[in-house]
Amino acid sequence: MHLYEVLRRPLITEKATMLKEEDKYAFEVAGKATKFQIKEAVELAFKVKVAKVNVMAVSGKTRRMGKRQVTTPSWKKAVVSLQPGDKITFLEGI
């Protein structure tokens, strides 16, 4: 998998915004991405040093659409901790 395919989008949620104060950033990542690939992709894209990567699988939710029940797709989330002093300025002010 190419490094540019690993990061899908940054997560802009209330919880992710509070994590920015601790130099932690949340991303939606590719389903087959590993911690090492996520670390390399963040370092390459944002020119920062990554201290730690936590990865979790988010299961899809069941929704009702009329009589039918459908399940939204499952996806993978990564919380990236940066070295002290590093910041991703692309996500600041959101």
The DSSP call for residue 89 is G
Task: Please compute the mean of the pLDDT values over residues 46-66 and round it to a whole number.
Answer: 96
**pLDDT at site 94:** 63
| Residue 1, CA distances (Å) to 5, 32, 61 in order | 7, 8, 27
Radius of gyration for the alpha carbons in the chain, expressed in angstroms and rounded: 15
The DSSP call for residue 73 is P
- What mean pLDDT value characterizes the chain? 93
**pLDDT at site 62:** 96
How sure is the predictor about 90, in pLDDT bands with cuts at 50, 70 and 90? confident
Domain-wise residue ranges, the chain: 3-85
How sure is the predictor about 12, in pLDDT bands with cuts at 50, 70 and 90? very high
Class of the CATH-defined domain 3-85: alpha beta
**pLDDT at site 89:** 85
Q: Closest Cα to residue 79, out of 5, 4, 15, 3?
A: 15
Task: Please compute the mean of the pLDDT values over residues 26-38 and round it to a whole number.
Answer: 97
Rounded Cα distance between 87 and 20, Å, is 9
Tokens, residue 61: 């939710």
